[in-house]
Amino acid sequence: MVSPCAREGRHHSRRRRGIHSRGREPSPPSESEGWTIHFIERETRYWIAAQAGQKQDELFRQGTASAWQWAAPAEFIRWFSDGERRYGTSLWRLASVPLNSAEAHRDYGRRKVWREGLEVAMKIKGSQGYKRVEWVKVEHPFTAISPEHQVHANHNEAQNSALRRRASAYRRRQNLYAKRVAGLQRVLDMQRLVHNWVRPHWGLEKKYNSSNGDGILCSPGHNA
């Protein structure tokens, strides 16, 4: 399921997070085929993409490419995540640009940076609950940097809990959302459709749904 692209000239904040869905027997997250990564726009709660599969580089590349295709038209983008570095590595291949002599002094010491207007950071959970913020790679010299307290993935954390509750309706005696990756992806696509186009969100003005808040639909209650 493909989402419409972000509108040009808008400011968007991306949040991304991984979810590990248990199978019949407990297994390490790296071996699970039910690992899910998803991306949410903070302001409108628009659920951009959800990708299921094994926790390998290809999953991160596909998920990041899908989210970046949606976000790229925006002029200013804040791209925040948890401590998984493969998100930044995948995005660097898509959104890094070389600097020219007119944009920075030669003493700046950087030849390749993020695209202008793109800020990429992650919040890392350390030992004993200590958290720190780390900016990934180097930003463009004309890009503003957010305060540390704004770098978080709280909206995705809340979405994770809600997704587990709603997906429990798909369970049967096997206590599985789906026996295969294709089945899990189908569940995710259905939940994303309802989240974006059907269910209103109390955090948005006039109880709009996410597609109303992002300007894809102009009026609430006319989603057919």
| Assigned domain for 222 exists | no
| Assigned domain for 218 exists | no
Dump pLDDT digits (tens) for 129-154: 667 888 888 888 889 888 888 888 77
List the CATH number of the domain containing 203.
3.30.420.10
Asked if the model's pLDDT at residue 221 lies above 50, the reply is no
Domains contained in the chain, number = 1
| Assigned domain for 19 exists | yes
| Assigned domain for 2 exists | no
| Assigned domain for 223 exists | no
Alpha carbons 77 and 136: distance in angstroms, whole number: 14
Which residues form the domain of 99?
A: 11-210
Dump pLDDT digits (tens) for 79-98: 988 878 888 889 999 999 98
Dump pLDDT digits (tens) for 3-57: 555 655 555 665 555 555 544 555 666 666 778 888 988 888 888 888 888 888 8
| Assigned domain for 215 exists | no
